[in-house]
Amino acid sequence: MIKHDGNQAPSAGIADLPEFDPDPALWTRIQRGHARRVIRRRLIRAGGFSASGAVVAIVILLGARGDFTGPSGTRDVTDGRFQSQALQNQSSAVVAGPQNEEVSVSVRRVDRELQMAYDQGADASRLRALWALRNQLLESLAREDGVRGLRLTRI
Amino acid sequence: MNSGFGIVLDAEILRQAQRGKNAAFDAIYRLYGRACYNLALRIVGEPAAAEDIVQDVFLRMMGSISKFRGDSPFGAWLKRMMVNSTIDVVRRNRRIDRADPEDHFAGLAAEGASAEVRVDAWNVLMRLTPRERAVVILHELEGYTHKELAQLFDQSESYSKSILARSLKRVVDSGQNLREEEEDTSHDQT
C-alpha cells in the first residue's frame, strides 16, 4: 500500500515500529551543557561590561566630585557619559550571544580609547566622538535583543 | 499523526521555560524527549548519533525559547528543529548517508527475499539508507508532504515519491513474509 499526502494512517509495518527510550543520562548531559552555556554567557556579559562599567563609574564619580579635569565647555560630553551609563544599565539585561559578544569587544576597545583620551587630556570633540560611538554600540546591543522602551538623545 | 510532538505544552510551563526555569525545561524534556529521540533514531539509525542530535536541539531550544512566539504549536516548532538537525546530520555525515538510493535498492533486490526472513519492520527500515528512512518516517509518521520533503532534500517531488514507494514496498513485503512464516509455524505446531 502506497500512501499519498494527507492525514492518513501510516502504512502497515511503519505504524508498528517500536519506540525506544533514550539513555537516562541524556537529560543530565543536556542540563550540564545548558548550565555551561549559561555560565559562559554570564562570563561574556560580565567580561564585556565590567571593564567598561568601571570606566563609566570612575568618570561619573570624578564628574560628581568636581575633580573632572576634562576640557571646559564639555556639557555635551557629560550628557554622553550619563547616557552611556543609562544604556549600560539597560544592557545588563541583554542576553549574550555571538553578535553581542562582538559588540561588547568593541565597547571594551572604545573604553580603552576613552581612558587614554582622558589620561591625555583630549579635547571635547574627541571625547564627544568616543562617547557617541560607545552609545551607538550599546544602543545597537539593546536593539539587537529587542530591549524596548529605550529612549536616546544623540550627542 | 502518530507522534509525541502532538502533545500540547501547558502555557505556564512555556512561560516558565521562557524565563529560563530548569524545572520547565525538565518538564519539556519529559514530554517531548522520547519523541525527539525516536525521530532521530529512526532516521540516523545509531543511538549515539540520535542522542547527540537530541542534545543539540534541546540546547538550542533552551537558548531560543524566549523568542518562541507561539505562532505554531510548541511541539511542531520543536519537531521542525529536530527534523532540520537530523537531516543536516544525514547530509554532513557521509558514513551515515552512504548509499545512492538507486544503487541501494538494486542491492537489496539482488539479496532476495530469503535475507529478510524473520526480520521485522524495524530491521527492514534500518536496512534502508538514512535518506530513505527519513522520507518514510517523515511522510508516514510526521505528516510531511512530498513538496516539503522535496524542499528538505533539495530534490524533486518525484524523488521522494519514488523513494517512498520502493521503501514502503520493502517494509510491507517483509511484514507479510514474517506473518506468513509465523502462520506456517503455528500450523506446523498444530
CA atoms within 13 A on the CB side of A14: 30
Asked if residue B19 has pLDDT above 60, the reply is yes
User: pLDDT, tens digit, for every residue of A66-120?
Assistant: 444 444 445 666 677 677 777 666 665 555 555 567 777 788 888 878 777 776 6
What's the pLDDT score for residue A111? 81
Please give the backbone phi and psi of residue B81, each rounded to the nearest 5 degrees, phi first.
-65, -40
Spatial CA neighbour of A56 closest among A126, A110, A102? A110
Contact criterion met (CB < 8 Å) for A13 and B124: yes
What share of residues in chain B are helix, strand, coil (percent, to 5)? Answer: 75, 0, 25
Question: Exposed (0-12), middle (13-18) or buried (19+): which is B30, by Cβ within 10 Å?
Answer: exposed
**Residue of chain A with shortest Cα separation from B4:** A19
ipTM of the prediction: 0.77
Task: Indicate which of A2, A3, A14, A16 best probes the interface with B, i.e. most B CBs within 10 Å of its own CB.
Answer: A14
Mean pLDDT for the stretch of residues B26-50: 95
Window B:79-138, CB contacts with A under 8 Å: 121-122, 124-125, 136-137
What's the pLDDT score for residue A37? 83
Asked if residue B50 has pLDDT above 50, the reply is yes
Nearest to B29 among A2, A14, A27 (CB): A27
Three cell numbers written together for B124:
527492514
According to the per-residue pLDDT averaged within each range, which of A55-64, A66-75, B61-70 is highest?
B61-70
Nearest to B55 among A12, A15, A26 (CB): A26
User: pLDDT, tens digit, for every residue of B135-158?
Assistant: 999 998 899 999 999 999 888 999
d(CA B133, CA B83): 12
Greater model confidence, A52 or B133: B133
What's the pLDDT score for residue B127? 84
**Residue of chain B with shortest Cα separation from A14:** B121
User: pLDDT, tens digit, for every residue of B114-140?
Assistant: 434 334 778 888 888 888 899 999 998
Altogether, the residues listed in chain A come to a count of: 155
B133-145 in b/e form (b: 16+ CB < 10 A) is bbbbbbbbbbbbe
Mean pLDDT for the stretch of residues B58-62: 96
Least reliable range by pLDDT among B16-30, B57-71, B164-178: B164-178
Least reliable range by pLDDT among A37-46, B17-26, B71-80, B149-158: A37-46
CB count, 10 Å around CB of B2?
A: 13
Asked if residue A33 has pLDDT above 70, the reply is yes
Task: Indicate which of A3, A19, A26 best probes the interface with B, i.e. most B CBs within 10 Å of its own CB.
Answer: A26
Nearest to A17 among B122, B168, B169 (CB): B122
Greater model confidence, A112 or A10: A112
What's the pLDDT score for residue A23? 94
